[in-house]
Amino acid sequence: MQPIIECVPNFSEGVDLNVIRQITDQVETVEGVRLLNVDPGKATNRTVVTFVGHPEAVVEAAFLAIKKAGELIDMSKHKGEHPRMGATDVCPLIPIANISMEETAAYAQKLAKRVGEELQIPVYLYESAQPDKSRSNLSVIRAGEYEGFFKKIKDPQWKPDSGPAEFDAKRGGTVIGARDFLVAYNVNLNTTSTRRANAVAFDVREAGRNVVVNGEKVNQPGSLKSVKAIGWFIEEYGVAQISMNLTNINITPLHIAFDEVCKKADARGIRVTGSELVGLVPLKSLTDAGRYFLRKQKRSTGVSEKELIKIAVKSMGLDELGPFKPEERIIEYMLRIPADSKLVNMNLTAFADETASESPAPGGGSISAYVGALGVSLATMVANLSSHKKGWDERWEEFSDWAEKGEALKNELVKLVDADTRAFNRIMEAFGLPKSTDGEKAIRSQAIQEATRFAIDIPFQVMQSAFKSLEVIKAMAETGNPNSVSDAGVGALCARSAVMGAFMNVRINAAGYDDKGFVEEIVNKGREIEQKTIALEQEILRVVNEKIGL
Point out the residues that are catalytic.
Answer: 82, 420
**Partner residues linked to 93 by β-bridges:** 7, 178
Q: Count H helices and E strands in the chain, helices first.
A: 17, 13
Residue type, 413: L
Give, as one character, the DSSP assignment of residue 337. -
Question: In this structure, how many other beta carbons lie within 10 angstroms of the beta carbon of residue 377?
Answer: 21
426: alpha, beta or left, given left = phi > 0 and alpha = psi -120 to 50?
A: alpha
Contact assessment for residue 375 and residue 412, using Cβ atoms and an 8 Å cutoff: no
**Would you call 463 exposed, middle or buried from its count of C-beta atoms within 10 A (0-12, 13-18, 19+)?**
buried
Of the candidates 60, 71, 68, the one whose C-alpha atom is nearest the C-alpha of residue 93 is 60
- 187: Cβ–Cβ under 8 A, 6 or more apart, which residues? 241, 242, 244, 257, 258, 261, 265, 272, 274, 275
Of the candidates 203, 205, 202, 274, the one whose C-alpha atom is nearest the C-alpha of residue 240 is 274
In whole angstroms, give the CA distance from residue 176 to residue 181. 15
- Nearest-Å Rg of the Cα atoms of the chain is 28
Question: In this structure, how many other beta carbons lie within 10 angstroms of the beta carbon of residue 405?
Answer: 19
Residue type, 425: N
The H or E element spanning position 379 is: helix 364-387
Task: Mark 483-502 as b/e (b = at least 16 C-beta within 10 Å).
Answer: ebbbbbbebbbbbbbbbbbb
The H or E element spanning position 383 is: helix 364-387
